[in-house]
Amino acid sequence: MHFVSELLADKGRQIFAVHPNSTVLEAIREMDRHGIGALLVIDSDELVGIVSERDYARRGILQGRRSDVTKVGEIMTTELVTADLHGTIDECMQQMTDRRVRHLPVLEEGKVVGLVSIGDLVRVILARQATTIEQLSSYIKG
C-alpha cells in the first residue's frame, strides 16, 4: 500500500465532523463515542477546521474554558494541513512529522473525502516492514 487512496479504500472513508457552533462538550462526547482523537469541523459543506483532544487540552482546559459553553470554533485549529487522495503514504508521514500534526483531512478536488491519522500510517508502515522482512528471510533461506 503506497497511496492515500489505497489506505482509505482499506479503512473506509467515513468522516466524523461537527459544526463550529457545537459546544466543545458535544465534540468531546462525539470523539468518545467513536473512539477517535479528532473531528473535522465543517460548515455548509466546507472544511473550516479540525478539533482534537490536543486543542481541547491546550485551548480549552488550560485556558479555563467551560466545555459546555465554549464553541468548537473558539478552540479548533484553522491552519489545516491536508493530504491529497492521490498522494503517497510517505508524503503524509513527512507532512505529519514536519508540521507536528496527528490527523490529515484528505481532499480530492477541494472536497473532503476522508481522514488519516498517524495510527493509520504507522499500521501501513509496519505492514510494509513485515513484508520486507519476510521477503528477505525467504531470499536468505534460498
What does the alpha-carbon distance between residue 47 and residue 58 come to, in Å, rounded to a whole number? 22
CATH number of the domain enclosing 14: 3.10.580.10
Q: Which domain holds residue 70?
A: 4-141
- Please say whether the beta carbons of 74 and 96 come within 8 A: no
SS3 of residue 12 by DSSP: coil
Number of domains in the chain: 1
Query: Could you tell me if 72 and 78 are in contact, meaning their C-beta atoms sit under 8 angstroms apart?
Result: no
> DSSP per residue over 72-134, as a string?
HHHH-B-S---EETTSBHHHHHHHHHHHT-SEEEEEETTEEEEEEEHHHHHHHHHHHHHHHHH
Per-position pLDDT tens, the chain of length 142: 689 999 999 998 999 999 999 999 999 999 999 999 999 999 999 999 999 999 999 999 999 999 999 999 999 999 999 999 999 999 999 999 999 999 999 999 989 999 999 999 999 888 888 777 888 888 788 7
User: What is the reported pLDDT for 135?
Assistant: 81
Q: Cα dihedral sign for 124, 117, 110, 99?
A: negative
Task: Determine contact, residues 102/50, Cβ cutoff 8 Å.
Answer: no
Q: What local confidence, expressed as pLDDT, does residue 53 receive?
A: 94
